[in-house]
């Protein structure tokens, strides 16, 4: 299969160096955000408020979760079977999934971090995926694509006769990690919020607004 410069808009001989430059640049960004992902993970587990405000919003829901009225309850960490929560003010709570060795839970790159805000007696829930791992996986996808263009530039016939399958596999892996992980993590977040609701609904837990 013959590919001309006109068909793709860029001379083939220029694709390889362009792809190499893109690979190095994006790899640098990916490594930087890999370290950021570790920092973000630790910060979320320390309930650092600002880290709950960025990352793609993937989970939004409203529920009639009771609102505590005990002021001394603020800043205390609530632990349920699978989650940890902290009220940062009278009408806002942060949460994430608790790390557990048993029972085993299959880990993903996108554990949700969430906020619950009470407005007019209704709890508004939002969950975001980590920024660090999101950019890292995006970098992988871009590098894989740049590599495909580099192979296309050096040997178009080989690319379309079989090598393209390797790149399709890489794209599918990256896409699969993302699109399978998000629904799984949303289900986990919903179960954790349900645990908080049950905890606050119990009469012996903490005073709640009537």
Mean pLDDT by 10 residues, the chain (210 residues): 46 62 83 94 95 95 85 77 92 90 78 95 95 92 80 72 77 89 95 92 56
**Residues in contact with 42: Cβ distance below 8 Å, sequence separation at least 6, in sequence order:** none
What DSSP letter does each residue of 47-85 carry, written as one string? T-GGGGS-S-EEEEEEE-PPPB--GGGTTPEEE-SSEEE
Q: Tokens 């969950």 map to which residue?
A: 127
According to DSSP, the residues that pair with 154 across neighbouring strands are: none
Q: What is the four-CA torsion angle of 73, 79, 80, 85, rounded to 10 degrees?
A: 60
pLDDT at 4: 46
Contact 31, 136 (CB under 8 A): no
pLDDT at 58: 97
Contact 208, 67 (CB under 8 A): yes
* Distances, alpha carbon 154 to alpha carbons 8, 20, 194, in Å: 15, 12, 55
> HSE on the CB side for 90, CA within 13 Å?
6
How far apart, in whole angstroms, are the C-alpha atoms of residue 80 and residue 49? 20
pTM for the model: 0.81
pLDDT at 1: 45
How far apart, in whole angstroms, are the C-alpha atoms of residue 44 and residue 114? 10
pLDDT at 93: 94
How far apart, in whole angstroms, are the C-alpha atoms of residue 101 and residue 97? 13
Extents of the domains making up the chain = 11-201
Contact 187, 49 (CB under 8 A): no
């Amino acid at each position: 299969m013959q590919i001309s410069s006109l068909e793709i808009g860029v001379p083939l001989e220029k694709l390889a160096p362009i792809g190499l430059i893109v690979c190095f640049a994006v790899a640098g960004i990916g490594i930087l955000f890999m370290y950021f992902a570790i920092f973000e993970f630790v910060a979320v587990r320390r309930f650092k408020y600002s880290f709950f405000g960025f990352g793609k919003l993937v989970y939004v829901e409203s529920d009639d979760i009771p609102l505590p009225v005990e002021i001394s309850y603020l800043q205390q960490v609530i632990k349920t079977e699978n989650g940890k929560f902290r009220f940062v003010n009278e009408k806002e709570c942060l949460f994430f999934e608790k790390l557990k060795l048993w029972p085993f839970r299959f880990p993903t790159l996108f554990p949700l971090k969430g906020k619950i805000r009470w407005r007019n007696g209704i709890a508004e829930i939002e969950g975001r995926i980590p920024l660090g791992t999101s950019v890292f996986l995006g970098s992988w996808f871009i590098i894989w694509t740049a590599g495909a263009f580099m192979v296309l530039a050096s040997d178009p016939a080989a690319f379309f006769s079989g090598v393209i399958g390797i790149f399709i596999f890489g794209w599918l892996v990256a896409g699969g990690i993302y699109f399978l992980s998000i629904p799984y993590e949303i289900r986990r977040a919903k179960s954790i919020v349900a645990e908080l609701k049950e905890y606050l609904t119990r009469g012996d837990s903490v005073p709640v607004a009537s």
